[in-house]
Structure 1
C-alpha cells in the first residue's frame, strides 16, 4: 500500500501496479460475486468484473427491464443470471447495488442469506451509516466493506473499455474473516478502479451526498442556470448564452483541468480570462461557503438521508421524478444545449454516414 502526502496529510492508496489484476484474480478465484441490482452501478461493475475473469453472477427480478438488459449484456439465465434470492444463495460476495430505498425494502431477504464467512459489498455508505433510518444491520460473522467508484456506472464502464480507470474509495466496516482487506481491494481492482483511496463508511456517504448536491450536480446546475439567465436578460441569444455557460466549460476547459489542474487550465487561457478568473473566484467561494456549510450539516445530521428515504420510497416516486427532470429538459437552456450538441462535428457526421450507407 502506497502513502500519499498532501501538505502533511497522509493518505493510504492502492494502485494497479502494486495490486495487479492477476493478484485480484487469485484472491477472488474461489468467490462467486453476486451483483444484486442492475440499474446505475450494477451493469458497469458486473461487466467489468466479468471481462476481468471474475466469477460474477447477476441477481434481478425476472421479466423486468433490467433482467432483459442483463441478457442483452451477455448474462445467461440459469448460468450467470438468476432471480434475486437464488443469486443471494449462490453468492459468496453480495454486491448490494440497489438504490438506497430498494436496499431497505429488500434487506430482510438479503439478511437471511448472509451466512458466516460471506461478504456484503456496498458502493455507498448510506445503508450502514444511517442504519437507524434504514434498518440495515449486518450479522457479525460476515465481512462488510465498500468500493465506491467516483462516478456513474456508465463512466466506469466507458473508461474501462478505453483502457482507463475511474478512481474509487474503499472502506472496511467489519472484518469477520480476517480477509476483508484483500477481498475489498481485489474487488476494487476487478471493477476497474484506476486507484483506490481509503476512507470509512461515514466519511464516504457524507462526502458523496455533499458532492452530489454540490459541485457535482446541484450547485453546477444552479450556477449554469444563474449565468444563463443573466446573459439572456442582457440580450444574448440562447446559443451564445449556452456556449459561454456550458459548452465551453464541458468541451474545452474541464478537459484541461482534468489533464493537469486548474492552474494549468488558467495558464492555457488568454491573459484577460486569467485576470478575470483570479479576481472573481474568491468572491464565488465566499458567496457559496455558507451554503456548503449548511449542506454538510444537513447531511451529517441525517436530514438529507431521511428526505431521500421518504421521497424515494413513495410508490409514485418515478412519476414525480420525471416531472422534475422534464422541467430541466424543457428549459430553454437545455433545449439550446440539445441543439448545440447536434451541431458538433461528430454528431453531424453520423447522420451523413448513415444516409450514405442507405444510399448504397
Structure 2
C-alpha cells in the first residue's frame, strides 16, 4: 500500500510550477533531487524533499519526472530497484518513452503522459487565474483503472482544462517537428532577419524592433482569439496582400522538402541518435552569445520589458 502521494523528480521551472499548483490543490508534494543538487536547499524552503541516492521512492504512488528528457533513462535506472508494482510514472513529454522504450524496460509500472502545452510561467499563471490550459495526455501504458483515475485527478489538480488525447509517439513527433519547423526557427530567426533588413535599409532600430519582434505576440494572440478564417478576414488589405505575396516565395517546394526531411529524421530515429552525441551545452552557449550580442537584445532591455506580458 502506498503511503505517500506525489514525488516530483527535478526542480527546474516546470517542476516549480507543477509543485505549486499541486500543493495549492491540496496534494502532498515531495521534491526528489540528487544529494549534490544546487536546487536542494531552494526546494526545502517550500516542500518536503527526498535525496534520491539515500531515501526510498517505494512509498510514493505518483512519480513525476521533470528532469530534462535525456536524463529520464539514467534517473529511472538509478532508482528502479526501489520501484513497486503499479506505481504511476508521469512524463511531461513523450520523448524518452518513445525513443528509449521506458515502458518496455519497466513494464510493471504505469507510464502516463501529461504534457501541458504552456511554458512554466503560464502553467502557474493559468492555474492562479483559473485560465484555460491544454495538455496532451496518454494512458496507453497504464495497466489498471486505478492508475487511470489517478491520472485524471492529477490532470485536474494541475489546472488542465482542455485534454488532447494522443499517443506518446504522436506527442513526441508533433513537439519535435513544430519546434524545428516554426516555433524555434521561423519565428525567432525570421524576426531577426526581418529586423536586420529594416535596419539595413535605414528604418530606426526601435521601429524595427516593434514591427518584427513585439508584434509577433499581437499576431499570435489574434490567431488564437479569432481562428484562421476570422483572422484573415480582419487583417488589413496591405497585410493580406503582402502575406500572400511572401507566402508564394517562401513556402515553395524547397521549404516543403526541408519539412519532409525534418520529419523523416524524427520518424527514423536519426534526430534521437544525433541528440545523444550532441554537445548541447556548447550549442546553448553559442546561441545565447549570438543573441546577447544582437541589437534585438539591447532593444528588448530598453523598451521591450515595458511591453512584455505580465505572466
Aligned-partner Cα distance in 1 for 2:205–2:191: 13
Change (3 A) 1:138 1:179: farther
* 2:164 equivalent to 1:209: no
Deviation per CA, 1:65-105, whole angstroms, max 9, x where unpaired?
32233234x21xxxx22212536233111111111222232
Q: What CA distance in whole angstroms lies between the structure 1 residues aligned with 2:309 and 2:222?
A: 20
Inter-partner Cα distance in structure 2 for 1:273 and 1:319: 39
In structure 1, the partner of 2:267 is 300
Could you list the per-position Cα deviations for residues 126-169 of structure 1 after superposition, in whole angstroms to 9, with x for gaps in the alignment? Answer: 1111116xx77442222111101112222211221222132001
Find the partner of 2:68 among 82, 90, 99: 99
The 2-side partners of 1:136 and 1:184 are apart by 16
1:310 equivalent to 2:277? Answer yes
Given the superposition, is the C-alpha separation of residues 281 and 131 from structure 1 closer, same or farther in structure 2, using an over 3 Å criterion?
A: same
Contact 1:256–1:264 (8 Å) recurs in 2: no
* Deviation for aligned residue 1:240: 2.0
Instruction: Name the residue aligned to 2:77.
Output: 108
Indicate whether 1:54 and 2:27 are aligned.
yes
| Whole-angstrom CA distance in 1 between matches of 2:187 and 2:38 | 31
CA drift of 1:116 comes to: 0.7
Give the root-mean-square deviation of aligned CA atoms. 2.6
Q: CA deviation at 1:206?
A: 0.7
Query: CA contact under 8 A between 1:147 and 1:168: conserved in structure 2?
Result: yes
Question: CA contact under 8 A between 1:100 and 1:309: conserved in structure 2?
Answer: no
Identify the residue that residue 337 of structure 1 maps to in structure 2: 300
| Equivalence map 1:1-360=2 (5 Å) | 32-62=5-35, 64-72=37-45, 74-75=46-47, 80-85=48-53, 86=55, 88-131=57-100, 137-250=104-217, 252-286=218-252, 288-311=255-278, 317-318=280-281, 320-344=283-307
In the alignment, the residues of structure 2 paired with residue 69 and residue 156 of structure 1 have an alpha-carbon distance, to the nearest angstrom, of: 20
Distance 2:15 2:58 in 1: 18
The worse-fitting range, judged by mean Cα deviation, of 48-57 and 338-347 is 338-347
C-alpha spacing 1:169/1:344, structure 2 compared with 1 (3 Å): closer
TM normalised by structure 1 equals 0.77
The normalised TM-score by structure 2 is 0.88
Question: Does the 8 A contact of 2:32 with 2:50 survive in 1?
Answer: yes
In structure 2, C-alpha distance between the alignment counterparts of 1:198 and 1:343, rounded to whole Å? 38
How many angstroms apart in 1 are the aligned matches of 2:231 and 2:36?
Answer: 49
Stretch deviating more after TM superposition (233-242 or 191-200): 233-242
Does structure 2 conserve the Cα–Cα contact (< 8 Å) formed by 1:57 and 1:87? no
The separation in 2 between residues aligned to 1:325 and 1:68, in whole angstroms, is: 28
Equivalenced residue count is 307
- Unaligned 5+ segments in structure 2 are none
Contact kept? 2:117, 2:136, Cα under 8 Å: yes
2:58 aligned counterpart, secondary structure: helix
Deviation, 1:209, is 0.9
Q: Report the 3-state secondary structure (helix = DSSP H, G, I; strand = E; otherwise coil) of the residue aligned with 1:124.
A: coil
Mean Cα deviation higher: 211-220 or 285-294: 285-294
